[in-house]
Structure 1
Amino acid sequence: MNWFRTTLLMAALTALFMFIGGLIGGSAGALLALLVAGGMNLFAYWNSDKMLLRMHNAQPVDARSEPELHEMVSQLAQNAGIPMPRLYIVDEDQPNAFATGRNPENGAVAVTTGLLRLLSHQEVAGVVAHELGHIRNRDTLIMTITATIAGAISMLANFALFTSGSRDNPMGIIGSIAMMILAPVAAMLVQMAISRTREYAADRAGAEISGRPLWLASALEKLEMGSQRIDNHTAERNPASAHMFIINPLHGGAMDGLFTTHPNTANRIAALRAMAGAGAPGPWG
């Protein structure tokens, strides 16, 4: 169901791009905007993992420096059927975690020191399994594609104002201004809806990888409370990275509304408890 919804939302985003492109610049204008946006996001796709890890000052750890955590991640990666990701720790009091990497062969998982202090061993396993779910589902690729299309829509919308007096643009200056404002907002809403859908998918994948949905459900309860009490100053300065975290690191993001990158945490916990109620055994016995 999550993949169907993601596909539907991506189709809607593509249809919006094609409609605006045809309306404003014709096929040539739409293609040019797509190529420019694609080039920008292709660079981000190849370098976003390094940029994100550097932004949050994530420090690599291995089996020698963090043997217990490394063994846990190794076992969960084996359960997930993906290579062992690079492992990082972020010296940050707010309990949180994120995954990055353009594919499973280049995956990386980062957890904060606050998360390691707050959660039990089982809860940490639930969080790590969620992040491995993102890597296995190739969510970085999905979000790069949607960012490319959304960026192209924004470019076309700005282009509309410059062509408002042209015969090729039937909207006129008022219509062009409205398009310049509304089109990027519509693209952003669809992009956020895709991001929220991928969080639900990663929750489900993580529950299957660990075999214990309640581990993640319990972790999410603690992470939600911790993120509300403790600031993440780096994330606040760089809000564009907020969607990468398992819990929204920014304050004021608890509602499951249009302008949030994460689903409501209570809804996620309810879905995980429903999975646990189904009684499916997992690889961790």
Structure 2
Amino acid sequence: MRRFLIWSALAVVIGLALAGAGYWAYWNFYARFQPVTISRNQAEIQRLLDEASWVSGGGGGEPLYVIGYRDSASTQRYEREEAEKLRAGGVELRSIVFARADREGQVQSTPAERATVAELWLSRDWSLYERWTATPSRNWTAAGIPAADGNLARSAVVEASRQFTTRLNDLLRDAGAPTGYPLVIWRDRDGFMKVCACADSRSWAFIRDDFSAPDAVAPSPVPETGPAIPPGQPVSGDGTPESLPYPSLGPIPPAGQAIPPASGATQPGAAPSTTPSRPATPRAPSQPVAPPQPTQQEDTTFF
């Protein structure tokens, strides 16, 4: 009986350990990357998203909001790798950017970044957003964009982007959703609002599954190159060769008047020049050459 109790207790301990290890593996490799369904504050979250100045390149009817800041490497990677896949699934990706506020006296954004954020919220210019994200942040100078610092209206726009992010994170935390960047918010097929703090790429597949988006898209075909254009031939604006210009023939003489011969041309009927050409003078050798001398080989007999 004692041995039975010992083995029973050991089996219970092993079973609990296996169950705990299985639950940890399920949470660590799958569950923690799943999006969270919002059951509270949906109306206020949707109102914030509708009032925010997002930018979009189009591509579909179902909106998907991506919130992040310029120097967030995970946000840039998500948009770079997932945007085309989501558009292929009929999704319109809407990007909302903000400038981070100072933290403990340390500046979290640059003047060029604040100026660009203000311009994007005011103009919602997608081409500006593309140029900005395609340029390294250290090389972006916001040339041609009015500065936000020292401009009361544009500084207020930058502050509004920060207040939007702060209020959105408070609502998400109250609904039990995680926060992080990129912050992705969308609605599934049944209309339920979902949110994902998609810093890890293992979370991206769940979003594609909700929209039946492909896991990969074919690269755009490379245009075929036409025939080689000869050097010196003019080319039109679309890259096709133009026809060669007509030669300048000069004035045409009246009918019945002889056309003067071109300079250097031989008139018909004239005898060709018979001046003989001078033969080349042989070059004297630099020193006399001795004639060859006969020799006799030992193994050869001449008769």
Task: Choose between structure 1 and 2 for higher RCO, CA contacts under 8 A separated by at least 6 residues.
Answer: 1
Fold match (TM-score > 0.5)? no
TM-score, scaled to structure 1: 0.20
Structure with the greater alpha carbon radius of gyration: 2
TM-score, length-normalised on structure 2? 0.20
